Amino acid sequence: MRTIVLDQPGHFRMTDTPTPDAPGPGQALVRVRHVGICGSDLHAYLGEQPFYTFPRIIGHEVGMEVEQIDANDRGIAPGDRCTLNPYLSCGHCVACRHGKTNCCESLKLIGLQEDGALRERFLVPVDHLHKSETLSCAELALVEMLGIGAHAVQRGRVGSGDTVLVIGVGPIGMTVVQFALLAGARVIVMDRSEPRLDFVEKNFDIAARINPDQDPIPQLRQLTNNDMPDIVFDATGNIPSMQNAFDYIRHGGTLVLVGIIQGQVTFDDATFHRRETTLLSSRNGTAADLDRVISHLERGDIRSANWITHPVAMDDMIGSFESFLDPTSGVIKAIVEI
């Protein structure tokens, strides 16, 4: 069967691999239909992702059909369309015991530490499947990414009428915008990239857009009746941006760091304390987050057309991959049809 292997950074190879054996206990054999290309996949290709080992079959944002599965308590049968919860948690560490499987001490990601979905078929754990009666496999390939925003917005306890600032509106920041709007918030976005701001303004009902190079604090004061935003999300993973974000929160407000960076983030304690700031990180998503995303997609609360900007056939993926790295290509989400 056709399989795309990332042999080493910068080098994909289309190859033939044997079809997997029949599924063992607790496993399902799935036919992959669509795979989303994630920021972490782009970092792997560029050799900037320290957790990858090579060769690796990447791909963790999956829409697929179940081909072989035993009777199971999740009610999933052959022919069902599903997405994958790609996070493998250990089930017994302190985080897992507290229900926080998304930050398990020994978390593994299918498509990063284990081979993923850029192939026609593979075996997946049944208890990591999430099905939908109505969504297409392309829509199901969006669920994991949207789960990042669903989780972050829940972490920030965003409520109706809150003013939310989202800094960095690449794909992950956009998922935060999406779920903050669904929570009933008034959303201001901040980004250095005018094309990204244009895209978000065109596709989402935002209250305002700010370029951080244009003296943002007076603009934020003006937009919030001098109060400043209730909850600020930083999705840049950029240290100066993360540090500046401490200055954008109202007194008694919350800062959620969604983007991750290797390095030290520092802040002025007096500013932090005077405001009694609540500081949170947000990592990945949980199975419950994925179910919430599926419900919103099924109800039509999320327009999948906003997200799938670059559909590509499996045969064309390797040749197109460099263009996904080019910010001027306007790529939000490339979805590979397998």
Is residue 66 part of the contact set for Zn ion (CB under 5 A)? no
Residue indicated by tokens 């999430």: 130
Give min distance, CB of 89 to Zn ion, in A.
Answer: 5
Q: Helix %, strand %, coil % for the chain, to 5?
A: 35, 25, 40
Q: Which of 28, 35, 37, 96 binds Zn ion (CB under 5 A)?
A: 96
C-alpha span between 222 and 215 (Å, rounded): 12
Amino acid letter at 158? V
DSSP 35-78: EEEPHHHHHHHHT--TT--SSB----EEEEEEEEE---TT---T
The long-range contacts involving 205-210, CB below 8 angstroms and separated by at least 24 positions, are 205/181, 206/177, 206/181, 207/163
Instruction: Kindly tell me which of 105 and 316 has the beta carbon lying closer to Zn ion.
Output: 105
Using the rule CB under 5 A, give the single segment among 7-15, 98-106, 114-122, 326-334 that binds Zn ion. 98-106
Q: Cα 210–215–220 angle (5° rounding)?
A: 55
Q: Is 175 in the site for Zn ion (CB under 5 A)?
A: no
> Which CB atom, from 1 or from 42, has the smaller least distance to Zn ion?
42
Rank residues 107 and 228 by Cβ distance to Zn ion and give the closer one: 107
Closest C-alpha among 272, 219, 270, 216 to residue 241: 216
CB of 108 to Zn ion, least distance (A): 10
User: Please, are residues 314 and 338 in contact by the beta-carbon 8 Å criterion?
Assistant: yes
**From 3, 27, 89, 286, residue interacting with Zn ion (rule: CB under 5 A):** 89
Within 100-159, which residues bind Zn ion (CB under 5 A)?
Answer: 104
The piece of 45-53, 81-89, 250-258, 309-317 that touches Zn ion (CB under 5 A) is 81-89
Is 287 a residue that touches Zn ion (CB under 5 A)? no
Closest CB to Zn ion among residues 262, 264 = 262
Tell me which residues touch Zn ion (CB under 5 A).
38, 89-90, 93, 96, 104
